[in-house]
Each structure stands twice: as structure tokens, then as C-alpha cells.
Amino acid sequence: MAVTTTPKLDAHKLRADFPVFEQPIHGKPLAFLDSAVTSQKPRQVLDAMRDFYATSYSNVHRGVYTLSERATEGYEGAREKVRAFLNASSTREVIFTRQATEALNLVAYAWGLDNLGPGDLALVTELEHHSNFVPWQQIARRTGADFRMLPIDDLGELRMDLLDEVAGDAPVKVVAANLVSNSLGTINPIERLAAWAHERGAIMVVDAAQAAPHRRIDVQTLGADFVAFSSHKMCGPTGAGVLWGRRELLEAMSPFNYGGSMIRSVKVEETLWNELPYKFEAGTPAIAEAYGLGVAIDYLEAVGLEAIEQHEHELAEHALERLAELPFVTVYGPPPDRRVGLVSFNVEGVHPHDVAQVLDWEGIAIRAGHHCCQPLMTRLGVAATNRASFYLYTIPDEIDRLVEGLRKVKDVLG
């Protein structure tokens, strides 16, 4: 049996790259356990963006002068980095958006309005973030299409066995699912879901916002037709996101936004669209932010996506083990081998807001709320949960502090 060795990641060493950890919060070291909401930024990204603005900044694809050429090189260089990151076959399939949300709306509007009709079925899952749920619900409403949800089981995993039953005889046109759940950390079987979707003649739209920062994605083997993710969750800046789509689908789609850059020629009678990917990038894009995303990808690749995945897996195991010591804590979601470094839980009798507030005074940042997943909260029978989520800079000591903090929560409010 061949054994592949992944060099271990040294989180203590990596933390030195993140200036945010240099400041105390309420007099305590910061334990940032909310990386699923957004990640902190390494000096490498911050410095590169400042240098870019200071030396290479102008608008892209416009000027013939040196600065504009540098800016275009930086922006298009980032596109190539994204292409390689996803193992996409062409940079024409890589569209820069504001974030995963805009990328998903782009598909829902530009593909959905032209391809959904009365009686067609748009299928999402009970695990979806509102950003991959509401756009399909609303476009289905506008086009007269049917909108249904694939349920989960008690461990928070998709009921794949119910696919045929939920879809019935309806012509399925689109299946939308996340690769990793932002609420429970469940890793979804996208390959199987995509195979089913394609068998039924549907396209597969994947929200990879919680996957791209944490594990390797290969769009050539994933089986998806569209993949969306955000820069800000993977060490890059806010304001940049990516939509990857199959070229033939993108070619056939109408534009989402109209404006500069996305046109070939404009006459009163008619306008011709620019080629891919520019057809979908109207107006001045987030230039330095896209550039920053490219630098973030370099950073993640240097650490190693496989090492990050392994590190977070170990953290999830540690967290689940430690939280099991607390009889007043209920943990949601699948076992550690089928989830990323993310744990949702509740403290008996204490509202998540109060949990998060007490922990804040210990310097521990966690998320408390419905995580933009109200259908899922309804399924779990709760108004909200607490969520601790980990990244390459998370150390086991922070999880131990979380456990101690939860004992204090129970003392004060339980």
C-alpha cells in the first residue's frame, strides 16, 4: 500500500504571519474561532496589496501606459492563479465577482431566467446557506418553476436515498448544494449529487465558500457545472469572489450586469457582448482585491491545502472530544471524518448570544446565530446555535480555552 505523507502544518509558526493575534482582547490573547464567517489576513497579503496600490495601480484593460499594463498583469495573473487553484481548463471559465453570493446570484439570474419554466424543478438542500437557497427560490417563483428541498438526516447529512422521491417525475433543471455546510461542517457528496443531476438532465451548482479555503477542489473531477467561492474566507481580502463555470454554459448565457468592459460593440439598434470571461465582468472590477486573492492562493499553496485539511481534521477531532466532556453541551453534525474544522453546538438553557458574549470576555470569538440557514435551524428545532470554526492558524489550546469558557457560561447563566 502506498503511503502518502503530508508535511504537517505548524500553526504556532503560521500565527506569526497574522498581525491580528498581536493584540489582546479584553486583556486575553485572541482565540479567533470564527474563521467560517471570514478568515484573518496574513501579512503577505496585506503587504502585497499595499505595494500593488503604491506601485502598480490603475484601471485594467484600458490604458496603454505602464501602470495600466501592470494593473492588468496583476489582475489577469490572479485569474491564472485561480484557474490553477481549481484545475480549470481555461481562464475563460474564471469570472471575478464580489463574493460567492454574487456568483450564485449570477447563475440564478443569468442561467435561471432563461432556462427555468413552469413545471421545471429547482432542487436545493436543507443545508444551504441563504445565498444558495433564496436566489433559486425567487427565480423559481418568477419563472413558475417548482422549488424543493432535499432533507438531511439527524447527523446533518443529505438524504441521498430520497433524491428520486423528492424529485418525483418533475423535469429537474438545476440542483444547488454546498460542498461543505457552513452550519454543521458536513462534507457533501457532490460527485454523487452531480451524477444524479446529470442523469436527470439538470445542471449542478456548487457553493464552495466553505470548502475552497480548507481542501483541494478539482473542477475537472468534481462533476459540478458551476462553482462559487469568496476570497475573504481564504486569507484574501473582501470584495472579491469567483464563479467558475463550464465554458459552453457560460457562452450560451446572457450577461448578468450590463456596462463597460462587457461589450464588444454598442449601437443604438444592438449591442454585442464581449468574450468570456469579460462578458460577466461589467464595470471596473475589484482590481487590488482580485490581486490580493491571487496572493492568498500563493500563501495557501505554500502551506499546502492537504496539510490544512489534515490540521483542521485533527482540530475537529480534538474539539468533539473535549466538548463531549461537557454534559450540558449538545453538538450537532456528523462524525469528524465527514466534517471540516467546524463545530456547531448549544449550551443547555443558555441562548447562543449569551454564550458568545461571555466567551468574548475571555478573548474567544465564536459565532452565535442562525448562520443564514433558517430552514436548517427549523430542522434542528433551535432558533440559533453557537459555532466554533477553525483554520490554519488555530491551535488546540484555543479549543481548550473554549471548553473552559463554556464551563464559565454554565456557571453564570445556566
Partner 1 sequence: MSEFDQLYREVILDHYKNPRGHGVMEDADAEAEGQNPLCGDEVSIYVAFGEDGDTIDDVMFSGRGCAISQAATSMLTEMVKGRKASEVAGMPKEELLEEIGIPLTPVRLKCAILGLTTLRLALHKGKGTPLPEGLAELEDLELR
Q: Which residues are identified as catalytic?
A: 372
Q: Name the amino acid, one letter, at 288.
A: A
Three-state DSSP state, 349: coil
Answer yes or no whether residue 353 interacts with partner 1 by CB under 8 A.
yes
What φ, ψ does residue 265 adopt, rounded to 5°? -150, 145
Question: What are the grid coordinates assigned to 12, written together?
Answer: 504556532
Query: Using N-to-C axis directions, what is the helix angle for 396-413 and 305-323, rounded to 10°?
Result: 30
State how far the alpha carbon of 352 is from the alpha carbons of 32, 225, 368, 382, 413, in Å.
17, 37, 5, 10, 11
Q: Give yes or no for residue 258 binding partner 1 (CB under 8 A).
A: no
Residue type, 79: R
Angle between helices 287-303 and 66-86 (to 10 degrees): 40
Nearer to partner 1, 208 or 356 (CB): 356
Give whichever of 276 and 384 is closer to partner 1, judged by the CB atom: 384
Asked if 368 touches partner 1 (CB under 8 A), the answer is: yes
**141 near partner 1, rule: CB under 8 A:** no
Closest distance between partner 1 and the C-beta of residue 352, in Å? 7
| Residue 334 vs 352, nearer CB to partner 1 | 352
Sketch the per residue contact string, 372 through 391, with partner 1: x for CB under 8 A, - otherwise.
--x--x-----xx-------
Q: What DSSP character marks residue 254?
A: P
Is residue 179 a contact residue for partner 1 (CB under 8 A)?
no
61, 216, 357, 375: which one binds partner 1 (CB under 8 A): 357
The only residue of 214, 246, 370, 387 in contact with partner 1, by rule CB under 8 A = 370
CA dist., res. 230 & res. 83, Å (int): 14
- In three-state form (DSSP H/G/I as H, E/B as E, the rest C), the secondary structure along 138-153 is HHHHHHCCEEEEECEC
Instruction: By CB under 8 A, tell whether 363 contacts partner 1.
Output: no
Total residues interacting with partner 1, rule: CB under 8 A: 18
The least distance separating partner 1 from the CB of residue 401, rounded to whole angstroms, comes to 16
Nearer to partner 1, 76 or 354 (CB): 354
Q: Which stretch binds partner 1 (CB under 8 A): 104-112, 145-153, 237-245, 345-353?
A: 345-353
- By CB under 8 A, is residue 142 in contact with partner 1? no
| Binding of residue 358 to partner 1 (CB under 8 A) | yes
Q: Does 412 bind partner 1 (CB under 8 A)?
A: yes
- The minimum distance between CB 141 and partner 1, in angstroms, equals 13
Rounded to 5 degrees, what angle do the CA atoms 108, 113, 116 make?
95
- Applying the rule CB under 8 A, the residues between 70 and 99 that interact with partner 1 are none
String of DSSP letters for 36-92: TT-----HHHHHHHHHHHHHS-S-SSS--SHHHHHHHHHHHHHHHHHHHHHT-S-GG
Q: How far is the CB of 176 from partner 1 (least distance, A)?
A: 23
Terminal-to-terminal C-alpha distance of the chain = 51
User: Site mask, partner 1, residues 22-41, x = CB under 8 A?
Assistant: ----x---------------
Task: Provide, rounded to whole angstroms, the least separation between the CB of residue 375 and partner 1.
Answer: 13
Binding status of residue 351 toward partner 1 by CB under 8 A: yes
φ and ψ of 74, to 5 deg:
-65, -45
DSSP symbol at 352 = H
Stretch that binds partner 1, among 109-117, 144-152, 307-315, 346-354 (CB under 8 A): 346-354
Strand partners, 245: 226
Task: Name the residues that contact partner 1, by CB under 8 A.
Answer: 26, 350-354, 357-358, 361, 368-370, 374, 377, 383-384, 412-413
